[in-house]
Amino acid sequence: NFIHPRDAESAKQYAQYEKLGRKHIRIMFKRNIRDLSDEANVFVKNIDPSVNVKKLHDIFAEVGAVLCCKISTDSEGRSLGYGYVQYEKPDDAITAAKTLQSHKIGEQEVVLSNFVPKDKRGASTAKRNIYVKNLPLNKTEAELDKFIEDYFKKFGDIEMMLLKRHPTENKFSAFICFKSEEQAQKCVE
């Protein structure tokens, strides 16, 4: 706690997202956690490993006032490729989801979705996900996106799809999440 608010602001300005050991310092002014809106929190996937928390914060701050930003890391402090951005207002989160969806940060395009707390999440997606490999090599990424969507929609409604390029070889794989377990099961049979 600081005696003067300007000291707290100064600490936030100079120490925000600095690394302390394997973790980044995250500074927010004291407020009741219940006052933070889940609708103002954005879940960010496919974060390039070279992107640090400060860079992520700066990009998302162009949309609105960011309270806090986090990139999840393993025990060694390496990025797990996903994170969270907590905005002050839900409208800013909605704007970010529209304007920054598929925005290239580093070498990868990020995928954004609304954050859903664990206690409010529906059934696990584990049995609704399928992994697809050996995709055609003679297609561009856009052509593969269309090919996958056209082919797999006959099995059911696709909730989410992620196409990944192999890091060293010119080949792709895909993760597809169907709306129901039955649809995913029908696809694999």
DSSP 34-55: GGS-GGGEEEEES--TT--HHH
The token pair that represents 140 in the structure block: 């561009």
- Taking 50 as the pLDDT cut, the residues of the chain under it are none
Q: What is the structure's pLDDT at 63?
A: 93
pLDDT tens for residues 43-85? Answer: 999 999 999 888 999 999 999 988 889 988 888 888 899 999 9
Q: What is the structure's pLDDT at 27?
A: 66
Residue 147 CA to residue 136 CA, distance in Å, equals: 9
Q: What is the structure's pLDDT at 148?
A: 86
> Residues of the chain with pLDDT > 70: what percent?
88
Q: What is the structure's pLDDT at 84?
A: 92
Residue 111 CA to residue 43 CA, distance in Å, equals: 8
Q: What single DSSP character describes residue 58?
A: H
Q: What is the structure's pLDDT at 22?
A: 72
Q: What is the structure's pLDDT at 170?
A: 77
Q: What single DSSP character describes residue 76?
A: T
H runs (alpha helix) in 106-176: 141-152
pLDDT tens for residues 140-150? Answer: 888 888 888 88
**In sequence order, what E strands does 88-124 have?**
104-105, 108-109, 111-114
Task: Quickly count: other Cβ atoms within 10 Å of residue 87's Cβ.
Answer: 26
